[in-house]
Each structure stands twice: as C-alpha cells, then as structure tokens.
Amino acid sequence: MADLTEQFPTMTIKAHDRLDQYTYTKTGGAADWVAFPKSVAEVQQLVQAAREQSIPVTVLGNASNLIVKEGGIAGLVLILTAMNEISVHDQVVTAQAGASYIETTKVARDHSLTGLEFAAGIPGSVGGAVFMNAGAYGGETKDVIANVTVFMPDGAIKTLTHDELAFGYRYSKVQDLDAIVLAADFALQSGDQAAITAMMDDLNQRRADKQPLELPSCGSVFKRPVGYFAGKLIHDAGLQGYTVGGAQVSQKHAGFIVNIGGATASDYLAVIHHVQAEVKRQFNVTLETEVRIIGRD
C-alpha cells in the first residue's frame, strides 16, 4: 500500500489514526488512513488513488449515529467535516455533505425559511442525514430534499432527484449505490423568523428535557417497530440502567445507550444484543438497529 500522506502532501491525511476521537460514542479503533478532504476535487483524487490500489473507502460525516468496532476500519476513511459550506438562493438552501445539520437549520432560520425546524437538534452531518433519511419530531429529511449531488462508484458526479433517492424510513437509495453524498439542496418556504425560532427553541428544549445529551452516545439506537416505540418497550422490559462495562441504557431515555466512562464498542454491542433479546423474549417484538455498526472485530 502506497503512503497516501506522501502521495498527497498538501492534504490533511493521518496514518493509523484512532477513530474514537471523532465518534460521538468516543469508541472505535484505528483506521489505516483518515483523510479530511476540503473539496470535491480532493474527494475524487483520494477515491481514485484508493481504488487504483484496491484500498477500501469508508465515508463518515459527524459520526453521530455510528458505532465503530475496536478493530478500527480497513483502508481509507474520509471524514467530510471540512466540506461544510452552506449557501442560500431564493428558497433553496444548499449545504455540502460535511456541513452540520444543526448549522444548516440555523442558516435557514436566519433567512426566514421554514421546513427544517424538525432538524434543529439532529447532531449529524447533511450527508449522513441524506444517507439515512434522518428525522425527528414528525419531520424527515425527505420532506425537504429537492436534489442531492453524489460521487458515483464509476467516478461520475451525478445529481439525484428526490424521486430517484427513493426515501424510506431511515433509508435512501444512496445506501445501495455505494455513492458518496457531496451536497444537498433543501427546498423550503418563506416563513416568519420569530415563529421559526420559537419552534426550533421548543424542539431543542424538548430534546434536552428527554434525551441524555450530557453524555456521549450514538443517538437513537433502534428503529421504531411498527405499532410500538422502542424506548417504551425497553423501559417496560425493565432495562433502563442495564450496563456492560462503560455502556449503559440511559436512565433518562431508554432509547439511548450512553458512555458513562471508558465504554468500548464491544460494551455497546453487548448492551444492544441483550436489549434485543429481552424485548423479543418479553414482548415478541424484534428491535432493529438504526445506528450503523461498522469496522473490524
């Protein structure tokens, strides 16, 4: 494997860099390479070099709804947080993939544009939000997406329309295309800035009241089962406070698993598997993970 740091001396690339310093859970082993591209051109160059050498490529945004295993990640990890430009044209907000979803909602608010209030507290990146159709409080990313610019496996840059993205619950077609989200266009409506601000403040207060934001976590761990709420099932199963190592089912919101100190990915996975088994045993409901679990064992 060629030394990518020598091949691209002007880019920010780190060899054998631990991922626990970037993930919201504060867990995860090292990646062979971690790069922080600042432009679409840098993404293209890095991906092309990796593919020429058969180096696998993994893309991360804010690494919020994610668990990286202790074995780290083989190959090249692209962290897109330096690609974070947000612009506004008429009623369309365009955000690069690495832009914070929360910052994007603030830009919309500052331009008196309504439609993104639901995302005011979602901690991920725009790319991650598109990838998994992130949502909260009755709103989903699909409700406001017009187009998404992606880097395709064949090296082409393509614009996918809303319909081509085939959004579903915590799903977009990007997951099946092996494509990299580069930017998204959000189609919004003109609104009253005071009302937009009030709604965002209200949702953020509700989030702070109910969710364990004071501790590291991977966000909402499980998808909502049809006809149920994952958090209520876990609460009713008597699992709040269940702990393995440093990973604990949150005492504040049963749908979250928090790092109470020194948790490893294995701790998280042990808690997840126990919760799934108990909810299945007690209520015959299968909990599917919403959080992405990646990396080497």
Catalytic residue ranges: 170, 220, 290
**What distance separates the 2 farthest-apart alpha carbons in the chain?**
56
Give the integer Cα–Cα distance in Å for 184 and 161.
10
Pair 32, 19: CB distance under 8 Å: no
Order of strands across the sheet that contains 180-187 = 86-89, 92-96, 180-187, 145-151, 157-161
Using CA atoms, how far apart are residues 68 and 28, in angstroms rounded to an integer?
Answer: 5
* DSSP-assigned beta bridge partners for residue 168: 171
Angle among Cα 153, 154, 159 to the nearest 5 degrees reads 75
DSSP state of 142: G
Which residues are CB-contacts of 239 (< 8 A; sequence separation ≥ 6)? 249, 254, 274, 275, 278, 279
